[in-house]
Amino acid sequence: MLNSLFSSTTIPVLEQVVNFSQARHQVLAGNIANLDTPGYRTRDLSPDVFSAQLKKVLADQQRASSLPGPGASASGSSGWTQARLSEVSQGLETLVRHDEVNVGVEQQVTELAKNQMQHNLALSIMTSQFRLLQAAVSERA
Amino acid sequence: MQSITSLSQAGALNSTSFSATRGVAAEKGPSFQEVLLDSLEQVNTLQQDANRAVENLATGGDTNPAEVLTAVQKADVAFRMMMQIRNKLVQAYQEVQNIRV
Amino acid sequence: MISALDISTSALVAQRTRLTAIANNIANVSTTRNEQGEIEAYQPRHVIFQTDERTSGSLGAAGVQVSSVEIEDVEPRWRYQPGHVDANDEGWVAYPAVDLMTEFTDALEATRAYEANVGVIEVTKDLAQQTLRILA
Whether residue A49 lies within 8 A of chain B, CB to CB, comes out as no
Rounded Cα gap, residues C105 and C99, in angstroms: 10
Question: Is 70 exceeded by the pLDDT of residue A71?
Answer: no
Same domain assignment for residues B51 and B86: yes
A88 versus C29: the higher-pLDDT residue is C29
Q: What is the pLDDT of residues C25-56, one digit of tens each?
A: 999 998 888 888 888 888 898 899 988 877 76
B37/B16 same-domain check: no
Tell me how many domains chain B contains: 2
- What pLDDT does B25 receive? 46
Residue A51 and residue B60: Cβ atoms within 8 Å?
Answer: yes
Does B39 share its domain with B25? no
* Portion of chain C with pLDDT greater than 70, in percent: 95
Under-50 pLDDT residues of chain B: 10, 15-20, 23-26
Size of interface B-C (CB pairs under 8 A): 17
Residue B72 and residue C132: Cβ atoms within 8 Å?
Answer: no
* Cα–Cα separations (whole angstroms), residue B86 to A130, B67, B92, C4, C47: 20, 29, 10, 45, 68
From the list C9, C125, C135, the residue facing A106 with the nearest CB is C9
Residue from B17, B35, B24 nearest B82 by CA: B35
What is the per-residue pLDDT across A3-54, written as a single tens digit (0 to 9) for each? Answer: 788 877 889 889 989 999 999 999 999 888 888 787 777 788 888 888 888 8
- Give yes or no: residues B15 and B57 share one domain: no
Same domain, B25 and B46: no
Using the Cβ of C58 and the Cβ atoms of chain A, whether some distance falls under 8 Å is answered with: no
Considering only the beta carbons, identify the residue of A10, A122, A136 that sits closest to B51: A10
**Is the pTM higher than 0.80?**
no
pLDDT confidence bin for C65, thresholds 50/70/90 = confident
Q: Do A122 and B87 touch (CB under 8 A)?
A: no
Structural domain span for residue B80: 31-101
The residue extents of the domains of chain A are 2-138
* pLDDT the model gives residue B44: 93
Domain ranges of chain C: 2-134
Please report, as a single letter, which amino acid is at residue A91. Answer: G
Instruction: Give the pLDDT score at A73.
Output: 39
Q: Same structural domain for residues B47 and B69?
A: yes
C136 CB neighbours in chain B (<8 A) are 73
